[in-house]
Structure 1
């Protein structure tokens, strides 16, 4: 996890074969539990999704992403 002045970021990788609805559910849980929001999503030709989550630095007492 890296931090900037205002936000902290967490990179995630969602494996190929994960359905779109399952990936959306995973990211929704991260949002609800840890205060994360989607900053960037890249879908690669092999089906891998690279995700960057962010949250305000003041929320750092909340748990990190779990995927």
Structure 2
């Protein structure tokens, strides 16, 4: 095993003080260490976009070379359309 296969990014989901019921988006903040190459970071974000339906909203690069990106995706609120019966027959 080489050094590159042991590295992983740190995915941190921010906490909100008050979870709003009418929020249209889920948010995810991804901290990418400086040891991760641009190609690896791009592959990670592309995978998140394709399979998790995340959109890149903002990116920030720190002086040491670490990166932080903000991802969001639309919340799908699905309401039940059939006439569900609460009583058991």
Give TM class, smaller chain.
0.7 to 0.9
Question: How high is the TM-score relative to the length of structure 2?
Answer: 0.59
Q: For 2:61, which of 40, 43, 46 is the aligned residue?
A: 43
The 5-angstrom pairing of residues 1-67 of structure 1 reads 1=13, 5-58=23-76
Bigger-Rg structure (1/2): 2
Unaligned runs of 5+ in 1: 60-67
Question: How high is the TM-score relative to the length of structure 1?
Answer: 0.77
Larger % of helix: which? Answer: 1
Unaligned runs of 5+ in 2: 1-12, 78-89
Which consecutive segments of 4 or more residues in structure 1 shift more than 3 A? 1-4
CA-CA distance at 1:8 after TM superposition: 1.1
Larger % of strand: which? Answer: 1
Question: Which structure exhibits the higher relative contact order, with contacts defined as CA atoms closer than 8 Å and separated by 6 or more residues?
Answer: 1
